Amino acid sequence: MSGSIRYTQVDSPVGPLLLAAHDDGLRLVEFQSPRHPVPVGGDWQPGRNAVIDLAERQLGEYFGGTRRSFDLPLDPHGTAFQREVWWRLAEIPFGETISYAQLAQRVGKPSATRAVGAANGRNPLPIVLPCHRVIGANGSLTGFGGGLATKEFLLRLEGAMLL
């Protein structure tokens, strides 16, 4: 990892987002009232860097309807299992949804639906690693760190909800 972690708040249609990154990758996209806030460490400093600038631009394009996937250097911190779940999220196509059971199968742990759901809920890069695309087996919008209204907004933006 090179340099300290920079962080700043940016505006979005789903409210302010806290972005944090070091020069090698995006570490955090956090909603205003996160369910599992990431503690700001001693090497975190207010400010911007090239990764934050790129993330802000790509998020703007996503919310503007011109970007369907992200091309950012990523550096989410978590356990090996959590990171495996998070990387699988990136494989869910724009505008599509899968169930937690399907995600567990993709991770290679079909009996670990609950653990996969817990890892999904700790995703430090929501929107970029699209945990909002994971829904209940019956099609219900289950828990989401940014709130269910935000999850619904993101799915509607992607055309995954026709109601």
Q: How far is CA 37 from the centre of its chain?
A: 13
Strands 44-46 vs 25-30: parallel, antiparallel or unpaired:
unpaired
What are the beta bridge partners of residue 17?
Answer: 10
Q: How many CA atoms lie within 13 A of 156 on its CB side?
A: 9
Give dist(CA 154, CA 63) in Å, integer. Answer: 9
Residue 60 among the catalytic residues:
no
First to last CA, the chain: 44
Give dist(CA 141, CA 8) in Å, integer. Answer: 29
What are the beta bridge partners of residue 74?
Answer: 26
What is the DSSP secondary-structure string of 114-153?
A: HHHHHHHHT-SSTTTS-GGGEE-TTS-----TT-HHHHHH
Of 74, 107, 127, 131, the catalytic one is 131
**Catalytic residue annotation:** 131
